A = this chain, B = another copy of it.
Amino acid sequence: MSDPDPGPGGLPPTVSALMERLRQGPSGLGTTSLRFAPREQPPTAETTTVATTEQTSGRPAPGSPIPGLYHHPVPEPDPERVEEVGRRIKRWAVDEVQAYPPEWEDQFDGFSVGRYMVACHPDAPTVDHLMIAARLMVAENVVDDCYCEDHGGSPVGLGGRLLLAHTALDPVHTTKEYEPAWAQSLLADAPRRSYRSAMEYFARAATPSQADRFQHNMARLHMGYLAEAAWAETEYVPQVAEYLAMRQFNNFRPCPTITDTVGGYELPADLHSLPAVQRAIALAGNATTVANDLYSYTKELDSPGLHLNLPVVIAEQEKLSPKEGYLKAVEVHNELMHEFEAAAAELAASCPDPRVLRFLRGVAVWVDGNHHWHQTNTYRYSLPDFW
C-alpha cells in the first residue's frame, strides 16, 4: 500500500486536516471559551515549501525566514499588548529584581520580550497573564547569561550555581537555624532574584500541578545546561544523537508548556503526563530548539571557543562542509516539526478532550510565535550565506 499523496508541507491530507482543526480550535456547544480571544486572528495555516532549490542564492535579506525551513507564519502581534508588556517587563526587571545593570539596557530592549510573548501567547486573556510568561522568559535569560554564557558565565562550578538558583523555583525545607540563610541567598544575585520573583508570580496563577510541571521542566533545562557545560569543559564533541539528546533538555520546553497557565486554564496532570502528550511536547520543543540553533548559527560562530549547535555537530561528525551541515540541520528541524504535527493530530483524534486540544494548539502556536520572533529579531540574529 502506498502512502497517500502529501498535502502542503509534505503532510498527508488527513493529518493536515486534523492539524487545521487543532489550530482553529474546536467547534460545538461549550467550546467557545476554548477558541482564541476574538481580538486575535488564529494563525494562518499557510506553510512554506520545503524545496530549497527554488530559493534565490546568497544571504537572505534581514528578517527573512530561513530558506526551506518548514514553519507557519503568524499575524503581527497586537502592538498595544506588545508595548504594554514591554513597558511593564522593563519596570519589573529594573525596579523589582535589578536583573541587569544600566549598560545592558540596549540588549534588553533588543531582546523584544513584549513582541516575543505576545506572538507566542495569542490566547492570553489579559496582559497580567502575558506578564507571567514574560518574567519567566527574562529570568531564564538572566540565568543563562550570567551563569552559563555571555555575561561572565562559565562551565566551571556551574552545577553549584544552578542548584542554588533552582531552589528559588523549588524551595528548600530545612531547620529554623539555617532557613533564613537560604531565604537570604535568593536575593544574592540577579539570576536568583529574577527566578524567585518570576516563580512567585507564576505560582500565584498556577495550580500546584502546573507549578510541579514547571519545576520539572526547569530541572530538565538545568541538566541540559550542565551537560553542555561538561562537554565544553572537556572539549568533547558529541555524536549527533547525543547532541540531540542534550538539546531535548537544554530546550525551550519550560516556555510552551506553561501555555495553559498563561491561557488561564489547566491541562490536568493526568492528561499532561500521558506518553502521547509527552511525545508531542518533546517533539515540539525539539523542533523549536533546533530552529534556535539555526537562527543563532552566525551569532554562535562569533562567540569564543567552539559553540556547539546542530549544524556544527553534524558537519564535524559527518565530515560535511559547514553549508551541508546547516542544510542537513534544516531537514532535521523539518522532520521534527512534521513528527510533532503528526503526533498532535493523532492525539486530537484519539483523545479529543478539549483541554488537550487547546493545550496542543497552544504549544503549536508557541512554536510558530517563537519562529516569528527569531525570524524578525534582526538585532540578535542574521543568517549565513548558504543559498
Contacts and interface: CB of A to CB of B under 8 A. Distances in A.
A173 B282 contact: yes
A136 interface: no
Nearest to A275: B208
A241 B185 CA distance: 9
A223 B162 contact: yes
A330 interface: no
A352 to B, nearest CB: 18
A160 B230 contact: yes
25 contacts: A157-B234, A157-B236, A159-B159, A160-B246, A173-B282, A173-B283, A173-B286, A174-B244, A174-B336, A175-B244, A175-B335, A178-B240, A181-B241, A207-B273, A208-B273, A208-B274, A209-B269, A209-B273, A211-B273, A212-B278, A216-B219, A219-B219, A219-B223, A223-B223, A226-B226
Nearest to A239: B181
A173 B339 contact: yes
Contact of A241 (B178, B223, B228, B286): B178
A335 to B, nearest CB: 5
B163 A245 contact: yes
B160 A231 contact: yes
A220 B219 contact: yes
Q: Tell me what chain A mostly uses at the interface: helix, strand, loop, or mixed.
A: helix
Interface in A176-208: 176, 178-179, 181-182, 185, 207-208
Nearest to A266: B270
B159 A223 contact: yes
A174 B234 contact: no
A240 B179 CA distance: 10
A163 B244 contact: no
Contacts of A296: none
A23 interface: no
A242 interface: yes
A211 B159 CA distance: 25
Interface in A307-336: 332, 335-336
Interface stretch (A79-87, A117-125, A164-172, A364-372): A164-172
A44 B240 CA distance: 55
Given A211-B273, A227-B160, A175 B336 contact: yes
Most chain B C-beta atoms within 10 Å of own C-beta, residue among A241, A246, A335: A241
A50 interface: no
A15 interface: no
Contacts of A229: 159
Interface in A259-280: 268-270, 272-275, 278-279
A155 B161 CA distance: 15
Contacts of A179: 241
A249 interface: yes
Contact of A245 (B167, B228, B245): B167
A227 B181 CA distance: 18
B162 A227 contact: yes
Most chain B C-beta atoms within 10 Å of own C-beta, residue among A172, A215, A240: A172
Given A175-B339, A216-B212, A157 B230 contact: yes
Contacts of A278: 208, 212
A187 to B, nearest CB: 13
Nearest to A226: B159
B163 A224 contact: yes
